[in-house]
A = this chain, B = another copy of it.
Amino acid sequence: MEAAEGVGAPTPTEEMNGAGTLMDFLDEPFPDVGTYEDFHTIDWLREKSRDTDRHRKITSKSRESLWELIKSLLDAWSGWVVMLLIGLLSGTLAGVIDLAVDWMTDLKEGVCLSAFWYSHEQCCWTSNQTTFADRDKCPQWQKWAELMTGHAQGAGAYLLNYFLYVLWALLFSFLAVTLVRVFAPYACGSGIPEIKTILSGFIIRGYLGKWTLLIKTVTLVLAVSSGLSLGKEGPLVHVACCCGNLFCSLFSKYSKNEGKRREVLSAAAAAGVSVAFGAPIGGVLFSLEEVSYYFPLKTLWRSFFAALVAAFTLRSINPFGNSRLVLFYVEYHTPWYMAELVPFILLGVFGGLWGTLFIRANIAWCRRRKTTQLGKYPVLEVIAVTGITAVLAYPNPYTRRSTSELISELFNDCGALESSQLCDYVNNPNMSRPVDDIPDRPAGPGVYSAMWQLALALVFKIVITIFTFGMKIPSGLFIPSMAVGAIAGRIVGIAVEQVAYHHHDWIIFKSWCRPGADCVTPGLYAMVGAAACLGGVTRMTVSLVVIMFELTGGLEYIVPLMAAAVTSKWVADAFGKEGIYESHIQLNGYPYLDVRDEFTHRTLATDVMRPRRNDPPLAVLTQDSTTVEDVETLIKDTDYNGFPVVVSRESERLIGFVQRRDLTLAIKNARQKQDGVVSSSVVYFTEDAPQLPASNPQPLKLRRVLNLSPFTVTDHTPMETVVDIFRKLGLRQCLVTRSGRLLGIITKKDVLRHMAQMMNQDPESIMFN
């Protein structure tokens, strides 16, 4: 039933014009006409047209009976149902992943005696140790050395713990990479570059499949728990999109229409970010700004719904145990001052430089992996990197713990009850202020040693992340980027705080920082630094600020965040326009036509179209003088996706365009089912059969598979307009005419190749490989 709409685009024409005239065998639907092959680009206009047809059919049927009316209502509501299901499942999966990661990360260090499935924190909740300072010390939780040898202290115990930590890490990452290799190769990486490409209209079968969903969820837990420098945010977007794809298959409205399916996937991406950060509005904006290609406004509302459902599902699972929606909840008690904009902007510059460095180094390393022997041993690579990471990370308390805990601690303002080393300030004995409002204090020895450890952690994170992102395991980039920024920010923040404390009289502090006041919040610097680094790598703008805004929940700190985000983007853009995702899209050669690239060259359609000068002429069909054999030869000899149909080879006036796939299927079908169709049968695309002598074999009518409204531009059309048309209408190809004569064809790949050429890049890299 549904497949009949495969020939959707030309159908309305045909039914209106051809009604009453001869009906050919193609009125009987046959399967697969109108679908796309793997690694091909969809035609958005055609998909939209097919959906409108479908909708029209349902609406007209709904007047016939009550049952059809109910079916049409169900159809209208199916969009909301899909959103609800996506929200529920992705929220649940995110919660499960959070809980599992918590448990397995702690498993590397020890185990809970009362119940082995408790994480360290849960273990100590349930124990009766309730003083705040001792909240992570309780007898039920034992480190491995303590459990195995009975000694909790000493060099031997330390080394045993160290050894087991590395061993667990290696085990987790080995499992992760093996599962990915064996069951779902598409489950590796962050997935965002591929999702961007898919949403732009490319088909990668299996990339969003059930198997990928399952394996990605499991291996994501393993990869994050192994302590590698990677995050779960990007992969969560992939997981949510897999959920979206899964639920699409429940409704033929979405499963049979690649355009509608992408609407759902856009919303799923929003749900993914929503659960990754607990930021529903930020998630919707991320999907809008960063991921989506065609984002109809109707989708905005639905995306928001999916994002909210997902966020609330996650909250009801309550994986962080604090009823908070957000990953890093922070509350600051002091405002910021104008003078602080200087360090904030410096952090922005750092973020931009980090973004540039990371993208260049990571792309260079990934290219090396693709082109050399290195790429042949993915398991070994993962094991080696995990080993190095674990060995180097364990001695430093700031790298030993999970990265999100680290960020959380760095963002935190030092309250009176804070036991962290970072909050080891020298207390003023006659302090009698409320808990929340602590004045700036001189740093104690703990802070100084923390500074050194953080500096080492910074260098370590910067280097190891470059080698980690792109390995054959699920790996997100948000958390490592934010960690780099947060460490740098906290260091700068503490430095500014101490300078301001010790030099109140300096002219730069005098105006805003009195002695005994709480002027500088190092946690805010960490947050600004995190935003700057994330912005430098991904080039997010509004969505970044909104996500950060949802974390703090106040407009107060938007200006510092914006200042840093803008600086970081400008600095990074000065070295190269592309963010990490675009760079990976290019590295992998996906046919992605970026909406944001401005095409500013003065070339014309005639410079881009095929055939070029000296090429053989364009492969065309004529409307009533080609035989079945000619067509079959043409299909065999060429690999074009479709052929223009012209009046005759002499006049070259364009009639329509026929897809290779549809043509093949139609001829195969006719040869099987229709008597009298032989190799010498004339194929005709006109409304009436051509006048032929009676002795000739029966002609074959193929007007049904002919698209009578192909898209054309003139040869004088500037390429910037052509690029715009390809982007906005989502075309696969476009025919070029001059004064009504067909001259050539421009495909999406021609456009991409031309753009790469204009930017002096290797044009041949633009192809899926």
Contact = CB atoms under 8 A, between A and B. Distances in A.
- Interface of A (DSSP majority class): helix
Given A49-B720, A281-B549, A739 B653 contact: yes
Interface stretch (A151-159, A691-699, A711-719): A711-719
Contacts of A558: 280, 308
Contact of A739 (B59, B549, B654): B654
A549 to B, nearest CB: 7
Given A55-B600, A553-B554, A13 B716 contact: yes
Contacts of A562: 304-305, 308
A75 interface: no
B716 A709 contact: yes
Contact of A301 (B45, B280, B541, B714): B541
A545 interface: yes
Interface stretch (A380-388, A723-731, A757-765): A723-731
B555 A325 contact: yes
Contacts of A435: none
Contacts of A26: none
State the number of copies, please.
2
A655 B739 contact: yes
Interface in A689-709: 708-709
Contact of A604 (B16, B59, B549, B655): B16
Contact of A718 (B55, B325, B709): B709
A46 to B, nearest CB: 9
Interface string A602-646: 101100000000000000000000000000000000000000000
Nearest to A607: B16
A289 interface: yes
A433 interface: no
A16 B709 contact: no
Interface in A261-289: 280-281, 284, 289
Interface string A487-499: 0000000000000
Nearest to A596: B297
Interface string A476-513: 00000000000000000000000000000000000000
B304 A724 contact: no
A710 interface: yes
B300 A48 contact: no
Contacts of A740: 651, 653-654, 737, 739-742
Contact of A708 (B49, B55, B710, B714): B714
B45 A721 contact: yes
Nearest to A654: B740
B281 A546 contact: yes
A56 interface: yes
A327 interface: no
A365 B310 CA distance: 45
Contact of A729 (B55, B59, B566, B725): B725
A49 B716 CA distance: 13
Contacts of A600: 52, 55-56, 59
A546 B303 CA distance: 14
A177 B517 CA distance: 54
Nearest to A550: B555
Contacts of A160: none
A351 B555 CA distance: 29
A300 B739 contact: no
Contacts of A718: 9, 12-13, 49, 52, 709
A241 interface: no
A150 B313 CA distance: 65
A426 interface: no
A312 B13 contact: no
A678 interface: no
A600 to B, nearest CB: 6
A595 interface: yes
Given A56-B602, A717-B709, A728-B729, A545 B304 contact: yes
Contacts of A599: 52
A245 to B, nearest CB: 24
A70 interface: no
A34 to B, nearest CB: 15
A713 B709 CA distance: 7
Interface string A3-45: 0000001101101110000000000000000000000000001
A542 B602 contact: no
A311 interface: yes
A473 B709 CA distance: 49
Contact of A647 (B304, B305, B725, B739): B739
A673 interface: no
Interface string A110-149: 0000000000000000000000000000000000000000
A335 to B, nearest CB: 10
Contacts of A289: 297, 300
A559 interface: yes
Contacts of A716: 10, 13, 17, 656, 708-709
Contacts of A553: 553-554
Contact of A312 (B542, B545, B559, B725): B559
A630 to B, nearest CB: 21
A739 to B, nearest CB: 4
Nearest to A740: B740
Contacts of A541: 300-301, 304
Interface in A290-310: 297-298, 300-301, 304-305, 308
A308 B559 contact: yes
Given A16-B604, A653-B739, A45 B724 contact: yes
Given A55-B598, A56-B600, A740-B742, 5 more contacts: A325-B555, A653-B741, A709-B718, A709-B721, A728-B729
30 contacts: A9-B718, A12-B602, A12-B604, A15-B602, A17-B716, A45-B724, A48-B720, A49-B718, A55-B598, A55-B600, A56-B600, A59-B600, A281-B281, A304-B542, A308-B562, A311-B555, A550-B555, A605-B709, A647-B739, A651-B740, A653-B740, A654-B739, A655-B739, A708-B716, A709-B716, A709-B718, A709-B721, A728-B728, A729-B729, A740-B741
The 3 closest A-B pairs by CB, nearest first: A740-B740, A709-B717, A708-B716
Interface of A: 9-10, 12-13, 15-17, 45, 48-49, 52, 55-56, 59, 280-281, 284, 289, 297-298, 300-301, 304-305, 308, 311-312, 325, 541-542, 545-546, 549-550, 553-555, 558-559, 562, 566, 595-596, 598-600, 602, 604-605, 647, 651, 653-656, 708-710, 712-714, 716-718, 720-721, 724-725, 728-729, 737, 739-742
